């Protein structure tokens, strides 16, 4: 199959309802990757925490892996090779390489593997979610060390920008990615914040950057009692939702087309009208 940037390139986002059982989650992710690849997807995005949703935030410390080795990383590499697809591995907990005294946190990390099963990119989530409303209370900084670097990688159809969940609320991050054909957002948005802002923010990032946005979400009632919003979707450069899944496990998919990006940017040339530097 041609890898020309002008050839339509099928991508897919997986929606999951992950559990406190790592092996069960990996089996479910494998099933959905196979389904997406069987439908022609050549790039597959997994959701944040696809591998584990514990009963409490600190539970993920028990399955953290050193960078470069571990069952979750091997699963992603082997799945990419087996199905001949690019895999963007949602997030997994990695060991902090140089913990401060008394620190007991992880990096919430996205790893990208090419169809040969080789890692080609890594992104450590920068913005850490903090939310208080009624009985809902979240503070990711207690168990996650933030990343510091904006990351992209080159796919056959163009540049792909990496972000995770709460990053979605910070448009300056996406500007720093530069000229992307696709921006991805693996997420585990809460039901409350997702219902209020999820689609609005995703469409805004697509419209502002005049590129495709692919979002893979956790979506449903989890065994730990948490409810996530779901609504995994693919959005085109005009801000139109091409495919969406409300709740429950499944696959969202569609085609990335360079001609669509060029057409939107030609008719409304906001991309080249930018004058302020976000760097």
Q: Quick one: pLDDT at residue 2?
A: 52
Q: Quick one: pLDDT at residue 1?
A: 46
Q: Quick one: pLDDT at residue 271?
A: 87
Query: HEC states along the chain?
Result: CCCCCCCCEEEEEEEECCCCCHHHHHHHHHHHHHHHHHCCCCEEECCCCCCCCCCCHHHHHHHCECCCCCHHHHHHHHHHHHHCCEEECCCEEEECCCCCCCCCCEEEEEEEECCCCCEEEEEECCCCCEEEECCEEEEHHHCECCCCCCCEEEECCEEEEECCHHHHHCHHHHHHCCCCCEEEEEECCEHHHHHHHHHHHHHHHHHHHCCEEEEEEEEEECCCCCEEECCEEEECCCCCEEEEECCCCEEEEEEECHHHHHHHHHHCCHHHHCCCCCC
pLDDT mean by block of 10 residues, the chain; 279 residues: 77 98 98 98 98 94 96 98 98 94 92 98 97 84 96 98 98 97 98 97 98 98 96 98 98 98 97 82
Whether the model clears a pTM of 0.85, i.e. scores above it, the answer is yes
Query: Which positions are annotated as active-site residues?
Result: 48, 125, 165
The CATH class given to the 9-273 domain equals alpha beta
Whether the Cβ atoms of residue 51 and residue 18 lie closer than 8 Å to each other:
yes
């Amino acid at each position: 199959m041609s890898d020309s940037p002008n050839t339509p390139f099928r991508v897919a986002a997986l929606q999951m309802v992950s559990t406190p059982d790592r092996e069960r989650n990996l089996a479910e992710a494998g099933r959905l990757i196979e389904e997406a690849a069987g439908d022609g997807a050549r790039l597959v995005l997994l959701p944040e925490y696809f591998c584990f949703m514990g009963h409490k935030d600190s539970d993920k410390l028990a399955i953290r892996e050193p960078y470069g080795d571990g069952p979750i990383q091997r699963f992603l590499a082997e799945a990419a090779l087996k199905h001949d697809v690019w895999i963007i591995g949602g997030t997994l907990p990695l060991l902090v390489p140089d913990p401060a005294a008394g620190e007991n946190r992880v990096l919430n990390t996205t790893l990208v593997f090419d169809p040969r099963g080789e890692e080609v990119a890594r992104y450590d989530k920068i913005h850490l979610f903090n939310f208080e409303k009624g009985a809902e209370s979240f503070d990711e900084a207690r168990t996650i060390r933030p990343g510091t670097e904006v990351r992209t990688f080159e796919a056959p159809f163009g540049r792909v920008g990496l972000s995770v969940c709460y990053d979605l609320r910070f448009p300056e991050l996406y500007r720093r990615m530069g000229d992307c054909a696709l921006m991805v957002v693996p997420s585990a948005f809460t039901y409350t914040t997702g219902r209020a802002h999820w689609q609005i923010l995703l469409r805004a990032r697509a419209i502002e950057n005049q590129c495709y946005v692919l979002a893979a979400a956790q979506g449903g009632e989890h065994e730990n009692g948490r409810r996530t919003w779901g609504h995994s979707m693919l959005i085109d450069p005009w801000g139109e939702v091409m495919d969406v899944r409300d709740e429950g496990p499944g696959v969202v998919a569609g085609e990335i087309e360079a001609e669509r990006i060029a057409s939107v940017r030609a008719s409304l040339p906001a991309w080249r009208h930018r004058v302020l530097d976000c760097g």
